[in-house]
Structure formats: structure tokens, C-alpha cells
Chain A
């Protein structure tokens, strides 16, 4: 009897361990924890928000892509297009498409029609939030089933960047987009390695593997993208193994602590998001340049970096993020000088200081920066009243021009033109028909920004961008503060399948080759 018991127990034990090893081998579901309350908008042509970009990156392709793991346009390689060529002055581009690419959910083969539709959609302000970037697009036409031609009004700094798997360059499938119309964000359809399966508001988005993916069957079969806004909950979920990959905190303390979690890899990667304080130059008291200068002198960049630590943060050097094509280091920043700030305020007729208002997100990463700014400004007699609102409300209110001071942190395609146009060209002023994200109503360098875009000579172009940066800084439309790199952590049994240095879509790319090791 005893022997029997032992045998059964041994058998049971063997069975259990076999089953568990089998389970371990079959780990193909990746659970990701993102630090936001909810999706912003799941239409790739609508949302520039960090919270959605990762999903777009896993679901969509562009005509070209930046090599997985890289954030620099130098690494552009074929994606949906196999090859391309342009005429001498760069105003006409021909792309040869890869054959046999399938749209998700049985929407058929992706052909030149889809490309034409998708690019036109991205360039249409009614259907896209990125229409402003396609200003130079004259036309796009299908020459045959697998060839498209893009014509431009003038050559632009980075057409390939515009057509890469980023923002408006993400290619949507025509049939699906037409069929669903405005509901496309409820079931986005692309061609990438993972396809949309379900969305539960404030809970999760589930993606599953696209077995027809043209680069091969993805090894990860399912991605569960969970919305976990609380930093502590997300960290605990990661430490306990409930999630495999998390959106981290741009904070040295967090990085140190998370690196100590057994089996954790912390990735600090490009690009950096530049935190800028945009000042509405049309409202009192900010319409006075002395007041704006005073605010600029009151901000201590080094102090901000000290708060969050150097591991993922650095001082900003211009209103264009460091390293972008056209970024200039020779732009004079107004130095931290509270005495000067007070003096300027007195000159402007505010010897007792001023009170300014801002509508601000409660998102901890941004809110903590703003509370330090608030304390710094107080030193110089500037009282910053913060009205805290939830992140999505923040995004809509600042776009309705309701906040005279806007703190915005963003990374864009790394060419100065994009940042300058989006944030400082008068055409992009918020609450106008052509609005993008010019919160400051800045118009100091419209001419230079436009001229640089059309300038074929690279050096002249850079000189124009430099002048634009100088003019905008001189007008203090925005005060650049700090740049924060992207911080993610994932379990070391996850092999991404490439070396991770960065991703313009701000999350680790997941490819068909990404898998769990055993």
C-alpha cells in the first residue's frame, strides 16, 4: 500500500512537473502594463499619444520603417515598399510595393490603392491629426497594383520619415477604413505582426498574432496591453510576474530599484521627450515679453534634473530636442537667475509678482515636474496656480486654448521642421482649423520655418532652422526644461529579437521574432 502511494505520488509529481514545463515552454502571451488610465484614440492617424503609439507600432507598417531597436532615421529600411527612387530635386518619389501583404481580419491583399488611400487619409485634416505634416504633398497616385508615386510641391527634409511606420505614415487598409468610417478606432486594421482583437475601456487591449504576416508567423501569440495608471500597482504587478513588460518612471530611483527586481531588464532608450513650458503670448500678463523672460529666468533646469536623476533625464538645450536634424546648441537659453526674474517683473509693472494659471494633468511623471517648477517660480515671486485634471481632459482642454501656460512633453520625428512646425508655426495654433500643438500662439519664426522646409541646400536649411530657434527663444514662446528618455522594464526571459536602443514609437518594438526564452 505504502509503495503504491509513493508510486502514485511520484507519478503525480512527474505529471505536474511535466505539465508545468510544458506550460513554461508554451509561454507565448506577453502582458504589458502601460502607465495610463485609458486609450486616447486607437486610430493611428488620430493619436500622437504615448499611450497608443506602442499598439500602432505592433499593428501597423509604413512604406518604410526604422530598423527595430533604433530611433534614428539613418536606419530606414524597406517595409511595405521593397525599393524606392526619387527624381533629382526630390519632388517625385516612386515606391515598389512588396507583393502578397495581407490585411488583418481577412480584408485582402494590400495594394497601391490602400497606400494611396491611407496617405490621403493621413493628409486630410478631417480624418487625421497629422495632416499638418503632409502640407508639401501634392498628390499620390497608384501607377499599377504594386507601384505608387508621391509628388511633392517642394522637396521636404525627410519624406521617408513621413512615410515610415510613425504617426501618419502608418498604413491602414482601405476596405476596412471605408467600411468602418469613424468607427475605425474601435477596430483598427493594418498589416503588422499583431492584430487587434478587443478593447475594454480602462482595462486592456488584446492583440493576437497575425499568422499571415509577411515577415513570418509571430512567435508571441497574444499581447495583453493593460492600462495600469498607478505606478506602484504597475511595479508590483511586474515584480510579482503578473505583467512581463512595464512602462517605467523616468526617475533614477525607479531605475535603480527596478533593476534589482529578479529577472528584470531596465531599458533606458531614445528618443527623449522634451518638456517645454509654452506661454500664450496673446494673454495678459504673458503678452509682455519681460514677464515671459522673467518666467524663463525663474526656471532652474539643473534643479529639475536633480529631482529625477541623471539616469533618464538631461537639461534641455533648445526648443528643439537634442540630436534632431537641425537642432542647434548655439541657441542662447535664458539662465536661471531669480534676481533678474524679479527685476524684469518689476520693470513690467508687477513689483509684487504675478499669478499665472495652468491646466495640468495628474499624470505623476508630468505632475511632479510641474510641482517643482511651481516651487521654483515661487522663489521669483511668480505664483503658478495648477488646476489638476485627468490626462485625457488635459489633452482636450489645452487644445481648446483654455490654459495660458501649457506644460507639454513630446518627442516627434527627429527633424527640426516637425517640432518647429507643430509647436511654433502660427498655422498650428490651437483652436484654429489648422491647429496642431502651437499652444503659445507663437508666430516669431513662420518665415524661417517655411523657408527651411523648401530649402534644398542642407547647410542653408540648417542655418534657417537655427535662426528660427533663436527667434522663438528670443520671443520666449516656450521655455525648454528637461529631456527625459524612455524607460521600460521587461523580464529577461523575453528576447525581443533585436538590440534595443530606441523606438520613435516610445515602446520596445515587438516583431515576429520576439519570443520568450526558456
Chain B
């Protein structure tokens, strides 16, 4: 973390390259110490690839209804069976991955940007700014995230944008907290002092000197919170506040499966498993990344 003082003389490009290769090496080392992280990464990549290739690998159009084949169990024609409208479950799962990942990624990106901004500003300026910002975050944190999301979606109406806003808002406070505490420590360090005496602006100090140093921790939190975001999206869809029909979403599929659970128990099982796999893989991945940046655990990778 003291890198920026060490090679002040290098070009910015070079600095970034060194930082990246260091980070990558550390990450691989940590991943090796905890082999399950590779499993997490692998599973997650599979889901990402499936989502990206959904339109090519899906056997059917996910919203095409084959009414004469409705509520069928797994068969050669429909590998995972069909739903109440005779839509192919497998294709819907593939396309559903897109929505889940999209909402998960977007909302967490928004939460990271907004949350770390608030956290860094609060930590950097301290005093009254800190008090007001962090108390506001505490108020938001007091709401269970699902309830908060539910209120927002109910007010704005269900659409992808609104879901992203709602889920992002529930995830902002934890990122603000994560960003604030290291900022408090780093702003007292010599290189910040040095920057200040050189007349750097607050914005420059925060953006170019503090942020890069706390980013790894934030990104680790990001992968863990993405799992939560995907679960919240599914929960909202389950209670009917998800993306509008007929767009396939995993939560919506579980809801439909639940309505027809006595006619086709498999309907709720497949999307349930899909959510399980994604959340599981993100958690494994997050754990591995956390080990990678945790100085206390860093030594262990090298045996």
C-alpha cells in the first residue's frame, strides 16, 4: 500500500502495470492457498458465458409458448421440461441468467460508485460532514435491505432501471462504511501530507491517492454483495415486483413454479438451483479475493 511513494519517478502507465501484476500475482497466490476460490471463479465464469451466449445456445425462444406441451417434465425435446405456458425452462434459465447478472452487476456498480464516494468524502473531511453522511447511511442501514428495496420498487414501479436503483440503494451503506475506515487511516499517511504540501486539491488526493489504495477491499465486498443483489432481485421477482412478464427471470420463474408446484415440482427447482450456483460461486470467489488482499493471510499462500 505504500507503492505510490516507492516509485514516484515512474510513468503512470508503468505504475498501473506494476500494481496490476502485483495484484494479479497476489490474487493467484491466495487463490492457490484456497483452492475453492478457483471453483467459485470457474462456476461464475460458466454462468457469465451462458448468459452471454444465451441467444445462441438456447434451444428455443424463451418466450415462445408451446401450449400443447405445457407442464411437461424433462424430456428429449425440452431438457428441463416446460412451464405453465409450455415455454422451455432451459432457454428461460439461460436468458434469466442475463437479467440476474445484469441487475446484480449494475446495481453493485452503482452502489460501489456512490458508496465509496460517500465513504471517502466522509472519512477524508471528517467532522460534521462525516457525521451527517454516516448517520444517513446508518438510517438506511436500519431498514432490512429487502424491505427498503420493496418500498422503492413499489413506489417507482417494477422495471430493470428501478430494480437497479432499489437494490443499489440498499447496498450503498455497507460500501460507504467499507470505504470510510481505511480512508481515515490513509489520510494521515505521509504521502497524503506530501501531496497536500504540493498543493494538490482534495479531489485529486481522494481520487488518485486514497481511492486506489482502498479499491481492492471495496471490490471484494462487491463480489460478496453481488450475490446478495442477485438474491434480492429474485426475492422481489418472487413477490411480483420483478421485471415485467414475459421476460424470464429466475425469481419470477420460482414464483410461477410455486403457483404450479403440484402440477410440476421441477418448475421451481431449476431456477432455485441456478440462484444457488451463482450465489455460491460468488461467495467462494469473494472469500478467495478477501484472502488475497488480507495482509494477515497473505503469507499463507507462499507456505
- Contact A387-B244, Cβ < 8 Å, known A232-B258, A306-B67, A368-B85: yes
Question: Do the beta carbons of A253 and B85 come within 8 Å of each other?
Answer: no
Give the residues in chain A near B67, CB-CB below 8 Å.
Answer: 303, 306-307, 372
A375 lies within 8 A of chain B by Cβ: yes
Chain B interface size, under 10 / 10 to 19 / 20 to 34 / 35 or more: 20 to 34
B residues in contact with A386, CB < 8 Å = 244-245
Task: Say yes or no for B301: interface residue by CB 8 A criterion.
Answer: no
Decide if A232 touches B85 in the complex (CB within 8 Å).
no
- Determine if A371 and B245 form an interchain contact, defined as CB atoms under 8 angstroms apart: yes
- Expressed in whole angstroms, the Cα–Cα distance for A261 and B260 within the complex equals 16
Most B CB within 10 A of own CB, among A257, A303, A306, A375: A375
Tell me if B300 counts as interface (CB < 8 A to partner A): no
Q: Closest CB-CB distance, A130 to chain B, in whole Å?
A: 31
B259, A232: Cβ atoms closer than 8 Å: yes
**In the assembled complex, A385 has its CB within 8 A of some CB on chain B:** yes
The residue of chain B having its C-beta at the shortest distance from the C-beta of A378 within the complex is B63
CA distance A472 to B67 in the complex (A): 31
Q: Judging by beta carbons under 8 Å apart, are A368 and B261 in contact?
A: no
| A190 CB to nearest B CB, Å | 35
Q: Is B216 an interface residue (CB 8 A)?
A: no
CA distance A372 to B65 in the complex (A): 8
Interchain CB contact under 8 A, A307 and B70: yes
Given A232-B258, A364-B259, A375-B85, A253 contacting B71 (CB threshold 8 A): yes
CA distance A505 to B259 in the complex (A): 26
Q: Which of B64, B70, B245, B263 contacts A388 (CB 8 A)?
A: B245
Q: Which residues of B contact A378 (CB under 8 A)?
A: 63
Q: What 1/0 flags go to B70-81 for Cβ under 8 Å of A?
A: 110000000000
With a cutoff of 8 Å between Cβ atoms, the chain A residues found around residue B84 in the complex are 368
Interface bits A372-387 vs B (CB < 8 Å: 1, else 0) = 1011001000000111
Are B85 and A372 in contact, with the CB atoms below 8 A?
A: yes
Q: Which B residues, 218 to 270, have Cβ-Cβ distances below 8 Å to chain A?
A: 240, 244-246, 258-263
Could you say which residues of chain A place their CB within 8 Å of the CB of B259?
A: 230-232, 364
Q: Is A362 an interface residue (CB 8 A)?
A: yes
| In the complex, B2 has a CB within 8 A of chain A | no
Does B96 lie at the interface of the complex (its beta carbon under 8 Å from any beta carbon of A)?
A: no
Given contacts A232-B259, A253-B71, contact A375 B246 (CB under 8 A): yes
Query: A244 near B: Cβ within 8 Å?
Result: no
A390 on the B face (CB < 8 A) = yes
Closest A-chain residue to B242, C-beta based?
A388
Query: A512 an interface residue at 8 Å Cβ cutoff?
Result: no
B158 at the interface (CB under 8 A from A): yes
In the complex, chain B residues whose CB is within 8 Å of the CB of A231: 259-260
Interface of A is mostly: helix
Contact B68 A306 (CB under 8 A): yes
Which residue in A236, A253, A372, A385 is a CB contact (below 8 Å) of B263? A253
CA distance A368 to B84 in the complex (A): 8
Which A residues are CB-close (under 8 A) to B63?
375, 378
A310-B103 Cα distance, complex, nearest whole Å = 41
B262 touches A235 (CB 8 A): yes
Residues from chain A with Cβ under 8 Å of B68 in the complex: 306
Q: How far is the CB of B254 from chain A (nearest CB, A)?
A: 12
In contact, B85 and A388 (Cβ under 8 angstroms) = no
Chain A residue at minimum C-beta to C-beta distance from B268: A232
Which chain A residues border B157 with CB–CB below 8 Å? 387
Q: A371 to chain B: which residues have CB within 8 Å?
A: 65, 85, 245-246
Q: Are A230 and B258 in contact (CB under 8 A)?
A: yes
Considering only CB atoms, which chain B residue lies closest to A390 in the complex? B240
Identify which of residues 1-22 in chain B touch chain A, using a CB-to-CB cut-off of 8 Å: none
- Residues from chain B with Cβ under 8 Å of A303 in the complex: 67
On whether the beta carbons of B244 and A257 are closer than 8 Å, the reply is: no
For chain A residues 341-383, which have a beta carbon within 8 Å of chain B?
A: 362, 364, 367-368, 371-372, 374-375, 378
Minimal beta-carbon separation of A31 from chain B (angstroms) = 20
Nearest chain A CB to B156 CB, angstrom units: 12
Select the residue from B67, B157, B240, B244 with max chain A CB neighbours within 10 A. Answer: B67
**How many Å lie between the Cα of A375 and that of B158 in the bound state?**
20
Contact assessment for A362 and B240 in the assembled complex, using a CB-CB cutoff below 8 Å: yes
Bound-state Cα–Cα, A362 to B70, Å: 20
Whether A388 and B258, one on each chain, are in contact in the complex, defined by CB atoms closer than 8 angstroms, is no
Is the Cβ of A257 less than 8 Å from the Cβ of B262? Answer: yes
* B 53-65 to A, binary, CB cutoff 8 A, 1 in contact else 0: 0000000000111
Task: Tell me which residues from 219 to 233 in chain A have a Cβ below 8 Å from any Cβ of chain B.
Answer: 230-232
> Roughly how many angstroms separate A375 CA and B244 CA in the complex, as a whole number?
14
Q: How far is the CB of B117 from chain A (nearest CB, A)?
A: 34
Q: How far is the CB of B295 from chain A (nearest CB, A)?
A: 50
Task: A322 to B16: give the CA distance in the assembly, Å.
Answer: 76
25 A-B pairs, CB-CB below 8 angstroms?
A: A230-B258, A231-B260, A232-B258, A232-B260, A235-B262, A236-B262, A253-B71, A253-B263, A254-B263, A306-B67, A307-B85, A368-B85, A371-B65, A371-B85, A371-B245, A371-B246, A372-B65, A372-B67, A372-B85, A374-B245, A374-B246, A378-B63, A385-B244, A386-B244, A388-B245
Residues of A within 8 A of B (CB): 230-232, 235-236, 253-254, 257, 303, 306-307, 362, 364, 367-368, 371-372, 374-375, 378, 385-388, 390
Interface residues of B (CB under 8 A from A): 63-65, 67-68, 70-71, 84-85, 157-158, 240, 244-246, 258-263
Beyond A232-B258, A371-B85, A372-B85: 5 further Cβ-contacts under 8 Å? A232-B259, A257-B263, A362-B240, A386-B245, A387-B244
